[in-house]
Structure 1
Amino acid sequence: MAERWRPWLGLLKDVLYGVLLWLLIITFVGQVREVPTGSMEPTILVGDRFWTDKLFLRFGTISRGDIVVFDPPFPTSYPYIKRVIGLPGETVEVRDGKVFINGEPLDEPYIAEAPRYTYGPVEIPADQYFVLGDNRNLSNDSHEWGLLSRDRIIARAVYRIWPLSRIGPIQ
Structure 2
Amino acid sequence: IHKTPSVTGVALIGMLASIIVYLIATIDSAYKAKRTKPDYELKDYNRWYAYVLLVLISMGGSVGTSMYVKANFIEAFRVPVASNYPTIVPNDRFLANKLAYNNSDPKRGDLIVFINPENRRQNYIKRVVAVAGDTVEIIDNEVYVNEQQLERQRLPQSVLDNIKIKVHGKSLEGDVFYEINGDAKYKIFLAKPPHDQASHNFSKITVPPHHCFVLGDNRNLSRDSRHFGPVLLATIKGRADYLYFPAKDWSRFGRIKN
TM-score by length of 1: 0.92
Which is further off, 59-68 or 109-118?
A: 109-118
1:80-91 mapped onto 2 (5 Å cutoff): 80-91=124-135
The alignment partner of 2:102 has SS state of helix
Q: CA deviation at 1:76?
A: 5.8
Which is further off, 30-39 or 51-60?
A: 51-60
CA contact (8 A) 2:115 2:121 kept: no
Residue equivalent to 1:3: 46
Q: Give structure 1 stretches of 5+ with no counterpart.
A: none
Tell me how many residue pairs correspond in the alignment.
171
Residue equivalent to 2:187: 110
In the aligned structure 2, how far is the partner of 1:77 from the partner of 1:125? 24
Q: More relative contact order in 1 or in 2 (CA 8 Å, sep 6+)?
A: 1
Which is further off, 157-166 or 125-134?
A: 157-166
CA contact (8 A) 2:132 2:210 kept: yes
In the aligned structure 1, how far is the partner of 2:109 from the partner of 2:239? 11
Q: CA deviation at 1:98?
A: 1.4
Q: Of 99, 111, 136, which aligns to 1:55? A: 99
Aligned CA-pair RMSD: 1.8
Residue equivalent to 2:209: 126
**Cα offsets for 1:72-126 (capped at 9, x unmatched):** 1112652111001110000001113311111112231511028861112111110
CA contact (8 A) 2:135 2:145 kept: yes
Residue equivalent to 1:96: 140
Moved over 3 A (4+): none
1:9-28 mapped onto 2 (5 Å cutoff): 9-28=53-72
Are 2:111 and 1:67 equivalent residues in the alignment?
A: yes
The alignment partner of 1:111 has SS state of strand
Are 2:242 and 1:159 equivalent residues in the alignment?
A: yes
Q: CA deviation at 1:156?
A: 1.0
Distance 1:155 1:141, change over 3 A: same
Q: CA deviation at 1:12?
A: 2.0
Q: Give structure 2 stretches of 5+ with no counterpart.
A: 1-43, 152-178, 180-185, 192-197
TM-score by length of 2: 0.62
Q: Of 127, 138, 160, which aligns to 2:221? A: 138
In the aligned structure 2, how far is the partner of 1:41 from the partner of 1:76? 23
In the aligned structure 2, how far is the partner of 1:96 from the partner of 1:22? 46
Q: Which structure has the larger Rg over C-alpha atoms?
A: 2
